[in-house]
Amino acid sequence: MVHEAYRRLRRQAEEKLAARQKRPLIMVGTATCGRAAGALNVLAAVKEEVARNGIDAAIAEVGCLGHCYAEPLVIIRHPGFPSLCYGWVDEDKARRLVVDFLQHGDPCFDFALAALEPNDLFPTFAEYPRGVYEKRIILALCGLIDPEDIDQYLVHDGYAALAQALTMAPERVVAEIKEAGLRGRGGAGFPTGIKWEVCRRAPGQAKYVIGNADEGDPGAFMDRALLESDPHQVLEGLAIAAYAVGARQGYVYVRAEYPLAVARLQKAISQARARGLLGQSVLGSNFSFELEIFQGSGAFVCGEETALIASMEGRPGIPEPRPPYPAEYGLHGQPTLINNVKTLAYVPHILRHGAAWFRRIGTPGSPGTAVFALAGKVAQTGLVEVPMGTTLRDLIFGAGNGIKEDKKFKAVQIGGPSGGCLPDTALDLPIDFDSLQEAGAMMGSGGLVVLDEDDCMVEVARYFLEFTQKESCGKCTFCRLGTKHLLDRLTAITRGKGKDGDLEFLQELAEDVREGSLCGLGKTAPNPVLTTLRYFYHEYEAHVREGRCPALACKDLIAYYIVPEKCSKLCNVCLGSCPAEAVQTRPDLLKVIVQEKCVKCNSCLVACPPQYRAVVKLSPPQDGT
Amino acid sequence: MEEQLHAAVAAILRQYDHRRGNLLPVLQAVQARLGYLPPEAMEQIASAFGVPPVDVYSVATFYAQFRLKPPGRHQFKVCLGTACHLMGGHTVLDCFERRLGIKEGETTPDREFGLERVACVGCCALAPVVVVDGRVEGRVSPTRVDGLLLSFSLEKSRRETPATPTNGGGGSPYGA
């Protein structure tokens, strides 16, 4: 019955899409990252050019392929050619591609980034360094299917796992997830199967399941990309979870800063409902499941389960002590299963391929893959999915292709404000939940920010404390006041006002905040301070003892100068780049920086042509000049 | 004015049942409609939900999304996520503050521009990022800030003097 209903849906989807196969297809990546790079203008240019030339081609919007460094991305599928992906596309390139490729049959290999399937003409993504290290499970379809068309998900075995689950006993579904060893991808790595089992066994009239996409970590965008690129995968995982624990009502909790994710998810829910994959009697079974979106309102602490529930009940997001765990006593006092949306995205794959398949990927303690958002000073920013146990070196220098502008690697910040900064000695650490914890950082939800020689570690610690101090809900004294004192002391140090004894004070207070806080926010808030003290003590010392910022990053400890011998005198680039009119021309045409006016924005240093490189920054500032 | 406000909030309140779990969605809807949460609206919501106004106020002030002051006609949200911070997000915020003469969280006296900071908009690969009237701009430099403000101020002067004839050629946004 269920299988038959599913096969019918699948057949309809295949028939609909088969009819389209014969026409050329232009796909433009319009996830938020693509849009920020101008993808909507590219899309408009493509549409206009296709219409103007009367070309018979379909145009579709797709999500994020993960190669964000090359946005905007366009994929063209032209029968007779391999499907080709083009990077750094602007409106002019888009128009050329449409005319040259679709009209004249020239695939413009100059603009192409990679082919999507093996062929004799052009290398595929698998042949690039990133492709060698990557293993895509939950990102497999991202950027390749239209997230607003459920049929494209269906033809890729979408919802097959849900149909399969509905014919299994719920206990069996829970057991399969347990056997797979899936651990929560939100950061803490709690075994998902055990959470499901506790929730399944908990007595309650109404149970709830919640997909958590309250991605509050600054520097992380995995959940956003997943919801914008392949929302049905998350819905399917959530429906299976609901069936397994015995819930009839579910929510996806999405951050308010992700309007596009909300819109695409909304569309996915209504399409799934129209096909009978959500709502009353799913696929003709006696399982019914309703799903709604709840928009978070911008509070980092709401990533914490009990705070998330408080916000859904219309209260300030202040965490409660656990136990009782939400799996037993959660939303409206009922058993509530809360899983990160990435965790849920793995569920359909595990059911389709089996627990043993999943266990073969990754490490014994942390099976499966991990999705990372590479950002900061890494050359190829974007989304990467690698097997657990991959080293940080392979991730940053392999998949990420090293550091921008060949600068020197300094540290990697992993796990967001709760994580830590690891130095180059930690690069050969295999990434899994346990080894990172030992090094003082944590897996976190997957934000990975790379720092180079120009980044000051004290300033980075200060930045994270500024964040956690702002986001502390104020319940626990140590978190509320301790983070404030840590921040004040760090701010003083970055301004050259550090004193003897400051570093000991930071160490001691950081440990106290960790001990004296109730929830994950306070317990982990000191991590950036503790790890930077542990690995970069000498940078703190330089600030406190010499009033010097070794990375030349702390604005109060540096000054910009123009080296007279190097200045061309006749070029006015620095003058034009200065937003504060601080660069002036002397009567002998030499340029000088008026220190009182300089806002230290770095514009002149960037603007000075490479043949001169006359602008320098020095720490501590020199008198005179 | 006050009546209009009352009617707008009442229309939103009719779309939701008034259980506490709907408080955030209602506040979000009211802010989407009015641009901010005026005290009168919060009181009206409190009485509809049957809770003291202070409960609504405590929720509105806890969450970063809610604005208690009117926004500007053009709203800039400067992202200060980790990646944006490292790539110069603070410099961008400084530029806005210096040019507009306001601090983050404030609106210019003529209500033309509002300035906010956000924790992260999830476009870290294109840092530093600014959300301009809901549109995400990547790789924003100090000169781009000046460019944005210039184009908006030109738009404003066009709006205020629509009758001024252009000097034939027209077209150039940087003209005159």
Domains of chain B from N-terminus onward: 2-62 (1.10.10), 74-160 (3.40.30.10)
Nearest to B122 among A258, A294, A463 (CB): A258
Q: For B35-141, where are the alpha helices, taking DSSP H only?
A: 39-49, 53-62, 82-86, 89-100
- For residue B163, give how far its alpha carbon lies from the nearest alpha carbon of chain A (Å): 31
A32 interfaces chain B, CB cutoff of 8 Å:
yes
Q: Are residues A183 and A295 in the same domain?
A: yes
Instruction: Please check whether residue A149 lies inside any domain of the structure.
Output: no
Look at residue B122 in the predicted model and tell me its pLDDT: 80
Look at residue B176 in the predicted model and tell me its pLDDT: 36
Q: Give the residue among B94, B78, B85, B64 at the shortest CA–CA distance from B136.
A: B78
pLDDT reading at A313 higher than 60? yes
- For residue B149, give how far its alpha carbon lies from the nearest alpha carbon of chain A (Å): 13
**Cα B78 vs. chain centroid, distance in angstroms?**
11
Instruction: Please check whether residue A624 lies inside any domain of the structure.
Output: no
Q: Is B144 left (phi over 0), alpha (psi -120 to 50) or beta?
A: alpha
Instruction: Please check whether residue A551 lies inside any domain of the structure.
Output: no
Q: Are residues A341 and A303 in the same domain?
A: yes
* Average pLDDT along chain B: 88
Contact B124 A315 (CB under 8 A): no
Look at residue B123 in the predicted model and tell me its pLDDT: 85
Condensed to tens digits (0 to 9), the pLDDT of residues A80-91 reads 899 999 999 999
Mutation site for A-interface testing, chosen from B59, B120, B144, B145 by largest number of A Cβ within 10 Å: B120
Instruction: Please check whether residue A148 lies inside any domain of the structure.
Output: no
Contact B23 A218 (CB under 8 A): no
C-alpha distance across the termini of chain A, in Å = 84
Phi/psi at A61 (5° precision): -100, 130
Per the listing, tokens 């808030």 go with: A525
Q: Are residues A398 and A461 in the same domain?
A: no
Q: Are residues A200 and A221 in the same domain?
A: yes
Structural domain that includes position A581: 558-618
Residues shown for chain A:
625
Q: How far apart are CA A268 and CA A232, in angstroms?
A: 6
Compute the radius of gyration of chain A from its Cα atoms. 27
Q: Give the mean model confidence (pLDDT) for residues A267-280.
A: 96
Instruction: Please check whether residue A443 lies inside any domain of the structure.
Output: yes
* Domain stops at, among A328, A358, A388: A358
Q: How far apart are CA B100 and CA A422, in angstroms?
A: 39
Structure token pair of residue B101: 């003469």
CATH code of the domain containing A608: 3.30.70.20
Per the listing, tokens 């220190």 go with: A595
Look at residue B163 in the predicted model and tell me its pLDDT: 59
A311 interfaces chain B, CB cutoff of 8 Å:
yes
Look at residue B164 in the predicted model and tell me its pLDDT: 52
Condensed to tens digits (0 to 9), the pLDDT of residues B159-174 reads 887 655 554 444 444 4
Q: How far is residue A177 from each of residues A237, A277, A485, A541, measured CA to CA in Å?
A: 11, 21, 44, 49
How many domains would you assign to chain A?
A: 5
Residues shown for chain B:
176
Q: Is the C-alpha dihedral spanning A448, A454, A458, A462 positive or negative?
A: negative
Q: Are residues A281 and A167 in the same domain?
A: yes
Look at residue B1 in the predicted model and tell me its pLDDT: 74
Q: Are residues A199 and A64 in the same domain?
A: no
Condensed to tens digits (0 to 9), the pLDDT of residues A580-624 reads 889 999 999 999 999 999 999 899 999 999 999 999 999 998 865
Please, are residues A245 and A218 in contact by the beta-carbon 8 Å criterion?
no
Look at residue A185 in the predicted model and tell me its pLDDT: 92
Q: Give the residue among A370, A33, A380 at the shortest CA–CA distance from B124.
A: A33
* Domain stops at, among A358, A383, A400: A358
Q: For A413-536, where are the alpha helices, taking DSSP H only?
A: 433-438, 457-471, 477, 483-494, 502-515, 520-524, 527-535
Q: Are residues A539 and A574 in the same domain?
A: no
pLDDT reading at B175 higher than 80? no
**Is the backbone peptide bond immediately before A323 cis, with ω within 30 degrees of 0?**
yes
Q: Give the mean model confidence (pLDDT) for residues A299-303.
A: 89
ipTM comes to: 0.88
Q: Are residues A572 and A516 in the same domain?
A: no
Condensed to tens digits (0 to 9), the pLDDT of residues A466-499 reads 999 999 999 999 999 999 999 999 999 999 999 9
Q: Which residues in chain B have their CB less than 8 angstroms from residue A453's CB?
A: none
Helix (H, G, I), strand (E, B) or coil at A25: strand
Mutation site for A-interface testing, chosen from B27, B45, B79, B85 by largest number of A Cβ within 10 Å: B85
Q: Give the mean model confidence (pLDDT) for residues A363-384.
A: 93
Look at residue A417 in the predicted model and tell me its pLDDT: 87
Q: How far apart are CA A174 and CA A161, in angstroms?
A: 13
Look at residue B119 in the predicted model and tell me its pLDDT: 84
Instruction: Please check whether residue A376 lies inside any domain of the structure.
Output: yes
Q: Across the strands, what pairs with A448?
A: A374, A414
Please report, rounded to a whole number, the percentage of residues in chain A having pLDDT higher than 90. 83
Look at residue A11 in the predicted model and tell me its pLDDT: 95
Q: Give the mean model confidence (pLDDT) for residues B94-111.
A: 92
Contact B145 A579 (CB under 8 A): yes
**In which band, very low, low, confident or very high, does the pLDDT at A257 lie, cut at 50, 70 and 90?**
confident
CATH code of the domain containing A379: 3.10.20.600
Look at residue A434 in the predicted model and tell me its pLDDT: 87
Q: Give the mean model confidence (pLDDT) for residues A415-444.
A: 87
pLDDT reading at A436 higher than 90? no
Look at residue B162 in the predicted model and tell me its pLDDT: 65
Structure token pair of residue A145: 């299917």
Look at residue A585 in the predicted model and tell me its pLDDT: 93
pLDDT reading at A625 higher than 50? no
Q: Are residues A211 and A266 in the same domain?
A: yes
Look at residue A219 in the predicted model and tell me its pLDDT: 81
Look at residue A67 in the predicted model and tell me its pLDDT: 93
CATH code of the domain containing A25: 3.40.30.10
Look at residue B174 in the predicted model and tell me its pLDDT: 44
Please, are residues B114 and B100 in contact by the beta-carbon 8 Å criterion?
no
Please report, rounded to a whole number, the percentage of residues in chain A having pLDDT higher than 70. 100
Q: Give the mean model confidence (pLDDT) for residues A427-433.
A: 90
Nearest to B126 among A36, A219, A449 (CB): A36
Look at residue B62 in the predicted model and tell me its pLDDT: 95
A298 interfaces chain B, CB cutoff of 8 Å:
yes
Instruction: Please check whether residue A553 lies inside any domain of the structure.
Output: no
Q: Are residues A489 and A609 in the same domain?
A: no
Nearest to B86 among A374, A451, A602 (CB): A451
Q: How far apart are CA A102 and CA A336, in angstroms?
A: 52
Instruction: Please check whether residue A141 lies inside any domain of the structure.
Output: no
Q: Are residues A176 and A290 in the same domain?
A: yes
Q: Are residues A350 and A474 in the same domain?
A: no
Q: How far apart are CA A602 and CA A620, in angstroms?
A: 16
Q: What does pTM read for this prediction? A: 0.92
* Domain stops at, among A423, A452, A481: A452
